[in-house]
Amino acid sequence: MAKTLYDKLWENHLVRQEDDGTALIYIDRHLVHEVTSPQAFEGLRMANRKAWRIESVVATADHNTPTDGWEKAEGTACIDDEISRLQVDTLDKNIRANGALAYFPFKDVRQGIVHVVGPEQGATLPGMTVVCGDSHTSTHGAFAALAFGIGTSEVEHVLATQTLVSKKSKSMLIRVEGPLGKGVGAKDIVLAIIGKIGTAGGTGYAIEFAGSAIRGLSMEGRMTICNMAIEAGARAGMVAVDDTTINYVRGRPFAPKGSGSGSDWDKAVAYWRTLHTDEGAQFDKVVELDARAITPQVTWGTSPEMVIGIKDMIPDPAKEQDPVKREGMERALAYMGLNPNTPIAGVPVDKVFIGSCTNSRIEDLRQAAAIVRGRSVAANVKLALVVPGSGLVKRQAEEEGLDKIFKAAGFEWREPGCSMCLGMNADRLSPGERCASTSNRNFEGRQGPMGRTHLVSPIMAAAAAVAGRFVDVREVL
């Protein structure tokens, strides 16, 4: 029978299944960070259990780590916030006590946002199940992996049993066909998808992204798309394996080794080539988008589905029939300090954030730097931040001179971490401040209490920094 990619990944990891569909799924890769793991390690210790296969664990600190001031003290002593420091130190202690395949502690050059680090190290491979106590684990689906976020008790469950109790989701195909316009990229595609299906559109589904527009993306772009599958309500998003996937994985530290037939690498590639949806396989739901119709996107509200094209007008709640939606729109506009029926282009910004597991990879930084080169951050912009996704991304960018371009323009060039994506460290919005952000969540208070977040692509954020307001990046390219 013809199978979807999701069917194949699911069946391949099935340890056992009850009659009611409750299944035990084997977990290949367990990514661990400092915020959601401490209670899980403690639970393990209290129950006198050992980790089932600690070599499945790849750990790093990212959420709490400061992005500047690293030099002011040794190790974690430079983390001012005591609770943050304790969480980072606790991760350290837990990994030292339990072990791991790999651990990239605070300040290691390979440290960074866990969803950037996994793929970069080749610790995320096609055909794997990948879990992490973090909802944006969907990112790793870009490698045709079954990847999803879990809670702290599940983190402990995976540590102790290498499995999860789960039920199969429904399947959704989102096909994006056609050439992308100039200045339009992965972030715009995924925002347009969420705008179309809504933040609950993918609830209960595993989404496969396909079509020529997706095939044409780099791995970085595919990760951006899968990263935000969770923002469309789906715990997992995925893209089939092709040459782009295999070329990205080749030679990475934890990728299969060897060459020639019989080597791990060749066996792996042969298997990976089967990781696509078969001709004629059925999905529970299919959504189609025309890539030609997608323009640079900007969110105007407090949910990722509140999104429009840069040339569009801010929507008018009065035109909304559904009273619940209308009220939501009114509340969002009031929070965001915006007026309906006015253009989003031209709205001034106070801060600009280029970073997060959605858009902090080398390609994102290259594209943003290309816009910034030879220009400077507008006078009304109080802070423009670039936070690379990992120490290695940072080093690569510096080798290419991107840091100089950003700094010359007036950007701050920071150390890697989650940073202003969620404001658990010191990087935050102040009340009322408006931010052009390449992150993934524009919820109320996400980047700081009463802060106003507009989600955009890296080049749109760069263009906003230079202009001091939202502009159509296609006009400055």
Task: Enumerate binding residues for ligand SF4 (CB under 6 A).
Answer: 62-63, 113, 115, 134, 136, 356-357, 418, 421-422, 439-440
Q: Encoding tokens for residue 461?
A: 């954020």
Residues 92, 147: Cα–Cα separation, whole Å: 25
Q: Minimum distance between the CB of residue 125 and another protein, rounded to whole angstroms?
A: 7
- From the list another protein, ligand SF4, none, which binds 160 (C-beta under 5 to 8 Å, kind-based)? another protein
Instruction: Decide whether 22 or 247 has the Cβ nearer to another protein.
Output: 22
Residue 410 — φ and ψ, nearest 5°?
105, 10
CB of 261 to another protein, least distance (A): 15
Q: Among residues 11, 264, 278, 288, which is the contact residue for another protein, using CB under 8 A?
A: 264
The residue (of 12 and 396) whose beta carbon lies closer to another protein is 12
Quick one: 267 or 319, whose CB is closer to another protein? 267
144 in contact with another protein (CB under 8 A): no
Bridge partners (DSSP) listed for residue 29: 130
Between CA 34 and CA 41, with CA 36 as vertex, the angle to 5 degrees is 85
Task: Candidates 79, 116, 241, 268: give the one binding another protein (CB under 8 A).
Answer: 268
Return the number of the residue (254 or 335) whose C-beta is nearest another protein: 254
Q: Can you say whether the dihedral through the CA atoms of 392, 393, 399, 404 is positive or negative?
A: negative
Of the two residues 155 and 213, which places its CB atom closer to another protein in the complex? 155
CB atoms within 10 A of CB 151: 12
If contact means CB under 5 to 8 A according to the sort of partner, which of ligand SF4, another protein, none does residue 36 touch?
A: none
Min dist CB 36 to ligand SF4, Å, is 10
Which listed residue (2, 11, 15, 290) binds another protein by CB under 8 A?
Answer: 15
Which CB sits closer to ligand SF4, 295 or 303?
Answer: 303
Question: 462, 185 in Cβ contact below 8 A?
Answer: no
Q: Shortest distance, CB of residue 81 to ligand SF4, whole angstroms? A: 15
Gap between the Cα atoms of 359 and 363, Å rounded: 9
Instruction: Please report which helix (H) or strand (E) contains residue 157, including its range.
Output: helix 152-161
Q: Which stretch, 155-163, 209-217, 307-315, 359-367, contacts another protein (CB under 8 A)? A: 155-163
Closest CA to 411 of 362, 465, 361: 465
The whole-angstrom separation of Cα 401 and Cα 369 is 10
Residue 50, number of CB atoms within 10 A of its CB: 11
How long a stretch of residues is the chain? 477
